[in-house]
């Protein structure tokens, strides 16, 4: 092209990055990627390999080990052998290893970037300027967490061997997000990258080798779904961390149900990009480019649903189309391109199929003529307008460079459409009115909210979703809890809980057993209600004398309780100060009736009055603790390297179902419900059969304590039946279960459909009188979700 022509067209010339070093590295590896197990490169036991290609030109990159169960077994064994010693090295020693990894990544940054782009098809500008710097940042940041682990988390221990399965869209970055916190907290790792994109994971293993990371601390297994499945099913793996599709995430939830494996899932998304009428539209257009055409739209948190205020829609769409016309799609190693290749032919087919569905549903297509390269997996930047919020393309993840646009009129409608999704990963809000943006941000159900920016990430700010976008966070302090557990947890017994002490002269002497003829009711929406089916269950005292009846609640009562909880959503928005006051009031009223409740405990359990009184005292103290924490268990402000502040806000999970510990009686009820409501959740509570009558006594206290109706709902009845209904219910966001191992499995399995956050005891016995266990802060942590709101600054 002549200079004159360049001046006429204003076109960029090509600026190709050399792939020579990367090609040499591949040649040195003889274009063969093997497993890295116990500090050694190992060919697959089956000797089978599959091909990996560069999606930009379909040329072969390497043959990749096709790992199977035997390879995974070796890797887990190596991880197990190394784990205790790795933890025992101490935080400082681990910090030095993580620091060395970070340094090596920086030293080899260019090689990493080129390899990533060759392997995945993403533009070199993105791998060079975003992926790899973030990877290094992640290891530096977590070197720091390793350093301070002993002082910051003195009562925690690592989990053991962690299985990590990652996707192809950000191969090395996803590796860093998983490996860095796991190693920092003293775990060892078995990691499987996606079959399409193994190259940078292999180079990472080489770096681990070069810095002499102890053998078995990081193990790399290559392969496809078979290898992933073998990791998920391995009984000696303590935790699975997965990023990928919601379907596979759901499968993993079901497979691991009841096994006791800790699980974090980063799944799909359909994130809203909301543009208000006062937004700076030129910035918005650039924001959209970053939101949906970054990494060819293969980003779980891509702003793939554009919601524009109606009054500016036409103008914005017009600007956007003209910007789309200028986007350059091309070879990933050309520094002048805006978009590279889609990862694989299969993904290209998925995208095309989704477009066909959209067109059939009546959407209008706009694609500019971007001169797509002939060979390779390329797809143009695409805009679909005339899209209905309920249509398939507005609801399902496309995972390609496809933006669907819709309009809204009012702010409330914007929030409504944004939340009209089964996902909840991210959102982007554009307005020059910071008050408006900060009003909308907490109302959008998403783990990351970017104000006047998009797709920003940092190691200090946790990332993760709500709803079917999965659970758990990666990055930040919250992400560390995914890789450790309270030291007392592994010591819990799994013997049958000691429930009722059924005889004893002393007990009957010291307790009165006055027979009360009364039929308790359910407590739903702040009112006492009869069970829908009209049946009751008898309650007996310690001497097997029937003293009352409780309702035999059913599916319909659960439905009503959940509806009541939904109606009480204002509780989640009320101030922490107000919530604290109400909790103090509950404590005050309970204390006033302490002797009556103590008598009831005696009557039902045969305990001594002294013990029963101590239980009530502790219950009152626990309510005080929850009240105290209500306005102190606050979020944080992070200062990532970008010119932004990140507000890490602790939000209520939503509706939490609590199935009470059978052995824990009244204290168990208080210890579970109070932190949940202190953090703004609404609760549907199923009491243990032993303490059901106490629960129905307790609502008289709630009625006199100014607690809004629907915040606590109590449904008595058959625990297993009610548990099953709650686990399947779409409007239950969190599920805390104390019961049998079998019941725990059922809760985890059934909750996979909606990706509820579950917390179950696998049949283990908590000590409800133990301050170390119950007052450790674990309840508060389980009662909140962390949302990071990114606010840029600077004029
Ligand atoms: P998958 O969920 O299928 O794969 C993610 C990872 O899990 C890969 O390493 C994969 O192995 C592995 N895997 C696949 N099946 C199993 C299994 N049964 N048990 C254990 N591990 C398994 O995502 P895909 O890569 O196939 O992409 C499909 C869709 O998922 C995309 O179109 C997109 O919608 C979504 N996706 C979402 C991502 C996100 O970040 N949220 C990232 C990537 C994809 P392998 O690929 O090697 O076979």
DSSP sequence for 355-418 = HHHHHHTT-EEEE------SSSS----EEEES--TTSHHHHS---SSEEEEEEESSHHHHHHHH
Instruction: Please name which of 311, 404, 312, 309 lies closest in space to residue 366, comparing C-alpha atoms.
Output: 404
Report how far residue 148's alpha carbon sits from residue 16's, in angstroms, rounded to the nearest whole number: 43
> Counting atoms of ligand 1 from 1, which one is nearest the CA of 193?
9
Q: Compute the average pLDDT of residues 26-37.
A: 98
pLDDT tens column, 452-473: 999 999 999 999 999 999 999 9
* HSE value, Cβ hemisphere, 13 Å, CA-based, for 350: 13
pLDDT in tens, 179-222: 999 999 999 999 999 999 999 999 999 999 999 999 999 999 99
225 CB near ligand 1 (under 6 Å): yes
Q: How far is CA 156 from CA 50, 83, 484, 659, in A?
A: 41, 15, 6, 26
Pocket lining: 397 vs ligand 1, CB cutoff 6 Å: yes
Place 514 in a pLDDT band, splitting at 50, 70 and 90.
low
Lowest-confidence segment of 391-395, 508-512, 655-659, 725-729 by average pLDDT: 508-512
Nearest residue (CA) to ligand 1, atom 26: 245
Do residues 104 and 211 lie in contact, with contact meaning Cβ atoms separated by under 8 Å?
yes
Q: Whose CA is nearest to atom 20 of ligand 1?
A: 228
Supply the pLDDT for residue 497. Answer: 54
The finding on whether 416 has its CB within 6 A of some atom of ligand 1 is no
Which residue minimizes the CA distance to atom 21 of ligand 1?
228
DSSP 8-state secondary structure symbol assigned to residue 170: S
Compute the distance between CA of residue 286 and CA of residue 105 in angstroms, rounded to an integer: 30
Does 222 sit in the ligand 1 pocket, CB within 6 Å?
Answer: no
Beta strands at 161-165 and 305-309: parallel, antiparallel or unpaired: unpaired
How far does the centroid of ligand 1 lie from the alpha carbon of residue 58, in Å?
Answer: 21
The preferred substitution site among 200, 248, 292 for testing ligand 1, maximizing ligand atoms within 8 Å of CB, is: 248
- Residue 268 C-alpha to ligand 1 middle, in angstroms? 10
Minimal CA–CA distance to 758: which of 769, 767, 746? 746
Picking from 1-10, 35-44, 477-486, 743-752, which range would have the lowest pLDDT averaged per residue? 1-10
Task: Identify the band that residue 501 occupies on the pLDDT scale cut at 50, 70 and 90.
Answer: very low
251 lines ligand 1 (CB under 6 A): yes
Q: Which atom of ligand 1 is found nearest the CA of 470? A: 41
Q: For ligand 1, is residue 396 a contact (CB within 6 Å)?
A: no
Distances (CA, A) of 318 to 292, 335, 371, 744: 17, 27, 21, 54
Q: Using the mean position of ligand 1's atoms as its centre, give its distance from the Cα of residue 248 in Å.
A: 7
Cα(347) to centroid of ligand 1, in Å?
Answer: 11
Note whether 736 and 659 are within 8 A (CB): yes
Q: Which two tokens stand for residue 743?
A: 């019941």
Ligand 1 close to Cβ of residue 168 (< 6 A): yes
Burial code (b: 16+ CB inside 10 Å, e: under 16) for 450-481 equals bbbbbbbbbbbbbbbbbbbbbbbbbbbbbbbb
**Ligand 1 pocket member 165 (CB < 6 A):** yes
Residues 6+ apart with CB under 8 A from 675: 626, 629, 779, 780, 783
How far, in Å, is the centroid of ligand 1 from the Cα of 247? 9
Residue 169 CA to ligand 1 center (angstroms) comes to: 10
Q: Distance, CA 195 to ligand 1 centroid (Å)?
A: 9
CA separation (Å) from 477 to 121, 148, 490?
33, 12, 22
Q: Distance (Å, rounded) from C-alpha 305 to C-alpha 390?
A: 12
Q: Kindly give the number of the ligand 1 atom that is closest to the alpha carbon of 232.
A: 20
Using CA atoms of 588, 590, 593, 595 in order, give the dihedral in degrees to the nearest 10: -120
For residues 343 and 406, what is the distance between their CA atoms, to the nearest angstrom? 28
Which of 600, 572, 576 has the alpha carbon at shortest distance from 698?
A: 600
In what order do the strands lie in the sheet containing 546-551? 518-519, 546-551, 536-540
pLDDT digits (tens, 9 = 90+) for 684-734: 999 988 889 899 899 999 999 999 999 999 999 999 999 999 999 999 999
Model confidence at 499, in pLDDT bands (50, 70, 90)? low
Output the residue whose Cα is nearest ligand 1's atom 35.
Answer: 245
**Nearest Cα to Cα of residue 680 among 780, 551, 561:** 780
Q: Which of 5-9, 42-46, 476-480 has the lowest mean pLDDT?
A: 5-9
pLDDT in tens, 150-188: 999 999 999 999 999 999 999 999 999 999 999 999 999
With a 6 A CB cut-off, is 300 part of the ligand 1 pocket? yes
Nearest residue to 693 via CA among 603, 785, 767: 603
Q: If you take atom 12 of ligand 1, which residue's CA is the nearest one?
A: 225
* Smallest CA separation from ligand 1 atom 4, residue: 244
171 and 193 Cβ atoms separated by less than 8 Å:
yes
Q: What is the mean pLDDT of residues 224-249?
A: 98
Q: At what angle do helices 199-210 and 109-120 cross, to 10 degrees?
A: 150
Instruction: Please state, rounded to an integer, the average pLDDT across all residues of the chain.
Output: 94
Whole-model pTM: value is: 0.95
Tell me if 525 CB under 6 Å of ligand 1. Answer: no
Backbone φ and ψ of 66, nearest 5°: -95, 85
User: Does the beta carbon of 344 sit less than 6 angstroms from any atom of ligand 1?
Assistant: no
What is the distance in A from the centroid of ligand 1 to the CA of 344?
13
For ligand 1, the distance from its centroid to the CA atom of residue 471, given in whole angstroms, is 16
Q: Is the CB of 229 under 6 A from ligand 1?
A: yes
pLDDT(443) > 70: yes
> What pLDDT is stored for residue 541 in this prediction?
84
- Active site members: 266, 300
637 CA distance to ligand 1 middle (Å) = 33
Q: DSSP characters for 620-647?
A: HHHHHHHHHHHTTS--EEE--SSSEEEE
Does the structure show a pLDDT above 50 at 495? yes
Predicted confidence (pLDDT) at residue 618 exceeds the cutoff of 60 = yes
Residue 6's pLDDT is what?
A: 79
Q: Is 16 helix (H, G, I), strand (E, B) or coil?
A: strand
Instruction: Taking residues 560-585, report their average pLDDT.
Output: 98
Residues 399, 296 contacting (CB under 8 angstroms): no
User: Which residues are registered as beta bridge partners of 540?
Assistant: 546
The atom number, within ligand 1, closest to the CA of 350 reads 32
Beta carbon of 399 within 6 Å of any ligand 1 atom: yes
Ligand 1, atom 19, residue with closest C-alpha: 229
Residue 498 has pLDDT above 70, yes or no: no
- Asked whether 268 lines ligand 1 (CB < 6 A), one says yes
Cβ contact 554:717 at 8 Å:
yes
């Amino acid at each position: 092209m002549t200079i004159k022509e360049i001046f006429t067209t204003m076109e960029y010339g090509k600026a190709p990055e050399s792939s020579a070093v990367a090609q040499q590295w591949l040649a040195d590896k003889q274009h063969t990627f093997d497993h890295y197990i116990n500090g050694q490169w190992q060919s697959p036991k089956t000797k089978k390999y599959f091909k990996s290609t560069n999606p930009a030109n379909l040329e072969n990159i390497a043959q990749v080990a096709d790992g199977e169960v035997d390879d995974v077994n070796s890797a887990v064994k190596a991880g197990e052998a190394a784990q205790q010693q790795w933890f025992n090295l101490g935080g400082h020693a681990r910090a030095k290893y993580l620091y060395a990894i970070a340094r090596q990544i920086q030293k080899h940054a260019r090689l990493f970037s080129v390899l990533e782009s060759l392997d995945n098809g993403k533009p070199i500008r993105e791998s060079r300027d975003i992926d790899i710097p973030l990877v290094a940042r992640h290891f530096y940041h977590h070197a720091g967490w390793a350093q301070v682990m002993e002082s910051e988390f003195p009562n925690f221990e690592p989990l053991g061997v962690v299985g990590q399965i990652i996707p192809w869209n950000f191969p090395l970055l996803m590796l860093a997000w998983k490996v860095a916190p796991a190693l920092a907290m003293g775990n060892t790792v078995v990691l499987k990258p996606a079959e399409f994109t193994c190259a940078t994971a292999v180079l990472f293993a080489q770096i681990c080798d070069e810095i002499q990371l102890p053998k078995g601390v990081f193990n790399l297994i290559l392969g496809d779904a078979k290898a992933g499945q073998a990791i998920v099913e391995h009984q000696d793996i303590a935790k699975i961390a997965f990023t990928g599709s919601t379907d596979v995430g759901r499968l993993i939830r079901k497979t691991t149900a009841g096994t006791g494996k800790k699980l974090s899932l980063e799944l799909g998304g359909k994130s809203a990009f909301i543009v208000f009428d006062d937004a700076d539209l030129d910035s918005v257009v650039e924001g959209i480019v970053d939101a949906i055409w970054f990494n060819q739209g293969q980003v779980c948190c891509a702003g793939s649903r554009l919601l524009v205020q109606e009054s500016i829609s036409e103008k914005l769409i017009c600007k956007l189309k003209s910007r789309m016309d200028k986007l350059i799609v091309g070879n990933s190693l050309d520094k002048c391109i805006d978009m590279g290749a889609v990862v694989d032919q299969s993904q290209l087919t998925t995208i095309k199929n989704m477009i066909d569905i959209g067109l059939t549903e009546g959407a209008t297509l706009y694609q500019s003529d971007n001169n797509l390269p002939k060979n390779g997996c390329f797809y143009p930047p695409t805009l679909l307008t005339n899209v209905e919020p309920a249509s398939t393309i507005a609801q399902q993840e496309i995972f390609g460079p496809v933006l669907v646009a819709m309009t809204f009129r009012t702010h409330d409608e914007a929030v409504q459409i944004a939340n009209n999704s089964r996902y909840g990963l991210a959102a982007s809000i554009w307005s020059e009115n910071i008050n408006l943006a900060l009003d909308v941000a907490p109302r959008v159900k998403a783990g990351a909210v970017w104000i006047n920016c998009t797709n920003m990430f940092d190691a200090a700010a946790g990332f993760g979703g709500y709803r079917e976008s999965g659970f758990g966070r990666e990055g930040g302090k919250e992400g560390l809890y995914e890789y450790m557990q309270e030291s007392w947890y592994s010591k819990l017994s799994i013997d049958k809980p000691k429930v009722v002490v059924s005889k004893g002269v002393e007990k009957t002497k010291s307790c009165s057993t006055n027979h009360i003829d009364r039929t308790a009711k359910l407590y739903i929406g702040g009112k006492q209600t009869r069970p829908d089916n009209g049946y009751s269950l008898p309650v007996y005292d310690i001497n097997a004398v029937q003293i009352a009846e409780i309702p035999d609640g059913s599916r319909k009562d659960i439905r009503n309780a959940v509806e009541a909880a939904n109606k009480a959503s204002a509780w989640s928005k009320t101030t922490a100060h107000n919530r604290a006051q109400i909790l103090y009031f509950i404590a005050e009223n309970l204390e006033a009736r302490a002797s009556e409740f103590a008598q009831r405990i005696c009557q039902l359990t045969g305990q001594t009055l002294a013990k029963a009184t101590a239980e009530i005292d502790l219950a009152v103290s626990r309510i005080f603790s929850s009240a105290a924490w209500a306005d102190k268990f606050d979020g944080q402000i992070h200062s990532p390297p970008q010119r932004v502040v990140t507000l890490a806000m602790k939000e209520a999970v939503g509706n939490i179902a609590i199935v009470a510990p059978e052995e824990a009686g009244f204290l168990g009820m208080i210890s579970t419900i109070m932190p949940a409501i202190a953090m703004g959740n609404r609760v549907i509570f199923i009491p243990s059969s032993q303490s059901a009558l106490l629960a129905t006594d307790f609502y008289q206290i709630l009625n006199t304590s100014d607690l809004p109706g629907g915040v606590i709902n109590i449904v008595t009845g058959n625990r297993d039946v009610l548990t099953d209904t709650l686990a399947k219910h779409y409007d239950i966001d969190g599920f805390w279960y104390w019961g049998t191992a079998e019941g725990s499995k059922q809760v985890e399995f059934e909750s996979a459909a909606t990706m509820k956050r579950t917390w179950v005891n696998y049949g283990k016995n908590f000590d409800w009188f133990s301050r170390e266990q119950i007052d450790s802060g674990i309840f508060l942590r389980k009662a909140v979700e962390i949302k990071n709101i990114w606010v840029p600054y600077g004029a």
